[in-house]
Chain A
């Protein structure tokens, strides 16, 4: 049984997003798209989350925060870059304070393009992330590192 893909909990962090992707992410929880039918919950707490969904490019100020949040998530965990800014930095990538996409800081597993990313795309991306989650769990199980200290 793939328990992880049945119950992926999301932590959403807005790195420097313009709120476009954030609104779409929240919109996917609404009756029309209803993310919860896949067991997905928006937790707001890294310690409960399986999926870190980052919106917006990462800049000087948000680098450490993104790292902190990622470190506080229990394994297995995946990172989803939501929207084109999170994917690559988009038009802001040359800004003096912008590092670029989330993958400059964290190992990103799923990239969801779009400006803003559409709810359908977000749901697709999250479902993709679920599969990676399962894979990561299987790997951890095989390597006998169910919980390393």
Chain B
């Protein structure tokens, strides 16, 4: 139990420490490194300590903590109302007021009698989430040490608020640990709201009009989720007197369907599923560490975490089917939209929504196999996607652009970075690596329960191949001659993080049998009483491909770089009109440069064309979901 409390309190303490006036810069950095090592080590310790144990629940004397939380909540509400009035966003103020009224009245009417048996708990799924938050979170904080000075150098008009930034990042980490370890739903709700506020403030870090706009959009949508969350809690308590996650799962399913749907709704908003996807694409104005941490690897994962937790309650109901379809629609539509995007961060954002959609769909299906693949998806996606965000963050400053079309010959200009980036991309879509293994398992899970989802997956994964391959092809194109290498300006902090995450991308693939047998399977045994049967031959073959690639790729590259001398180098074919390798002689003896552009197929997959379709369809599904829950 101490480890759990430590994981929540320690980042919290660090976040306040970050606010105090600086000692020296070097000391601050040193402290940051130590803190991050601790944050990595404790979840690993948790994993080792709990490897052979079932879930553990802990009682905590909580009256004072509850009151403290209420005060903090009211303080935050006051703050939000203040800034929404000062920036004339009355909708936000209204939502905050509604939410506060619900929670405060709930607290005063039934808060006294509430008996919480176990406030905290830990099981294998929480540990996985804690590992993700701990390792990726602290890696990204390291990255931020190198990134933020450059950010402010780049955007001189932005006020330098580094301490405030660090405060929010660590506060957010504390809240994330709180979410994954809370059994008391009131606590879960409290931490949930903290992440919303952190997200809001971090998106608005630049404090200009577009980022303020995006921040408020994110806040509004997440507040809607929060209001529904609160309604769900009130409904749950009034109908069954429960305020704990484990008890929710044990009660009669018909009775608690509506609260479960409410919680799932909050999860959908948090994980930016349709119809709420626009907040995540808007959130890309935030500094890159924020996008990597909050909007790809952890906070949005909290949404699917909650959905996966409450999904057993909805099992075999029409609501679960709707949930599956909402996930499926989000997966397919955003994968298609990603084809038409040339803004690198937006591609990453849409791909994030897409993968989260797949996880939501798995949660809706809720068989042992589906949940198994959902958890694998969470792990693989968190690692590879945060890595990609961080790479794009660096590329953005070296090339002064985040447009994929400007990334020609990136492998010549930023060779090491491109290698790391390609590791991340391979992790996202190439066959033996994480995501595609998970899709492979997901497809099997879908075929057995819901062929319609298999069809969506078939189309969606084709779209996924499209946008990743063309991007990957763009950055790995090589031209004859030299290009200016701009890599030396990447800071040490950033390299360390990229190294950690790149290794992690490969390691989680190699270690996936370990995770599967020792971490995920015990969890599935608890929830479903069985584990999915895995074809040993398949696992072996996947392993052969993976290890084969890991051996062949470096060897092959070394061979072609140093050993292979048996060739003649010629220019590219330009109809015989070559002047040099990038120019050719055009009409009237003019010199024409070659420029290679990718297909974006906007006529078919344009954002404005497909986004509203997704919103409309999913809105319909959502109304049905609530409809069946209320009846």
Chain B hits for A147, CB < 8 A: 566-568
**How far does the alpha carbon of A47 sit from the alpha carbon of B577 in the complex, in Å?**
15
Interface residue tally of chain A, by bracket? 10 to 19
Q: How far is the CA of A45 from the CA of B577 in the complex (A)?
A: 13
A30 at the interface (CB under 8 A from B): no
Nearest chain B residue, comparing its CB with the CB of A149 = B565
Q: Kindly identify which residue among B565, B567, B573 contacts A47, using a CB–CB cutoff of 8 Å.
A: B573
Q: How far is the CA of A74 from the CA of B566 in the complex (A)?
A: 13
| Surface stretch bound by B, among A31-39, A61-69, A90-98 | A61-69
Q: Mark each residue of chain A from 33 to 52: 1 if its CB lies under 8 Å from any CB of chain B, else 0.
A: 00000000000011100000
A111 located at the interface, meaning its Cβ lies under 8 Å from any Cβ of chain B in the complex: no
Asked if residues A72 and B570 are in contact (CB atoms below 8 Å), the reply is yes
**Structural contact, A65 and B567, CB atoms closer than 8 A:** no
Q: Are B577 and A72 in touch, CB under 8 angstroms?
A: no
Contact A68 B568 (CB under 8 A): no
Find chain A residues with CB under 8 A from B578 CB. Answer: 68
Chain B neighbourhood of A71, CB < 8 A:
570-571
Looking at the assembled complex, report how far the CB atom of A5 sits from the nearest CB atom of chain B, in whole angstroms. 23
Smallest CB gap from A13: residue in B: B576
How big is chain B's contact interface, by range? 10 to 19
| Chain B positions 569-592 with a Cβ under 8 Å from a chain A Cβ | 570-571, 573, 575-578, 585
A68/B567 in contact, CB under 8 A: no
Within A7-57, which residues are at the interface with B (CB < 8 Å)?
Answer: 13, 45-47
The 0/1 profile, CB within 8 Å of A marked 1, for residues 475-500 of chain B is: 00000000000000000000000000
Contact A66 B576 (CB under 8 A): yes
CB distance from A64 to the nearest CB of B (A): 8
Contact of B576 among A46, A148, A149 (CB under 8 A): A46
B568 is contacted by which of A46, A64, A66, A149 (Cβ under 8 Å)?
A149
Shortest beta-carbon distance from A66 to chain B in Å: 7
Residues of A within 8 A of B585 (CB): 64
What's the count of A-B pairs with C-beta under 8 Å?
A: 32
The residue that A68 contacts in the complex, of B565, B566, B577, with Cβ under 8 A, is B577
Partner of A69 from the list B566, B567, B576 (CB cut-off 8 Å) is: B576
> A69 vs B576: C-alpha distance in the bound complex, in angstroms?
5
For the complex, what is the distance from the CA of A13 to the CA of B575, rounded to whole Å?
Answer: 10
- CB-nearest residue of chain B relative to A45? B573
Instruction: Assess the A72–B573 pair: CB atoms within 8 A.
Output: yes
| Beta-carbon contact of A148 and B568 below 8 Å | yes
Q: How far is the CB of A141 from chain B (nearest CB, A)?
A: 14
* Minimum CB–CB distance for B577 against chain A, Å: 6
Task: Tell me the bound Cα distance from A141 to B568 in angstroms.
Answer: 16
Please name all residues of chain B whose beta carbon is closer than 8 Å to the beta carbon of A65 when the two chains form the complex. Answer: 575-577
Residues in A whose Cβ lies below 8 Å from that of B571: 68, 71-72
List of B residues within 8 angstroms of A66 by Cβ: 576
Contact across chains for B567 and A149 when beta carbons are under 8 A apart: yes
Q: Which residues of B contact A13 (CB under 8 A)?
A: 576
Q: How far is the CB of A44 from chain B (nearest CB, A)?
A: 10
**In the bound complex, how far is the Cα of B575 from the Cα of A49, in angstroms?**
14
Chain A proximity of B565: nearest CB distance (Å): 6
- List residues 537-578 of chain B with CB under 8 A from any CB of chain A: 565-568, 570-571, 573, 575-578
Binding site for A on B (CB under 8 A): 565-568, 570-571, 573, 575-578, 585
A residues apposed to B, CB below 8 Å: 13, 45-47, 64-66, 68-69, 71-72, 74, 147-149
**Closest 7 CB pairs between A and B?**
A65-B576, A68-B576, A69-B576, A72-B570, A147-B566, A68-B578, A149-B565
- What are 11 sample pairs from A and B whose C-beta atoms fall under 8 A apart? A13-B576, A46-B576, A47-B570, A68-B571, A69-B576, A71-B571, A72-B571, A72-B573, A74-B568, A147-B567, A147-B568
List 16 additional A-B contacts (Cβ < 8 Å) besides A46-B576, A74-B568.
A47-B573, A64-B585, A65-B575, A66-B576, A68-B576, A68-B578, A69-B576, A71-B571, A72-B570, A72-B571, A72-B573, A72-B576, A148-B568, A149-B565, A149-B567, A149-B568
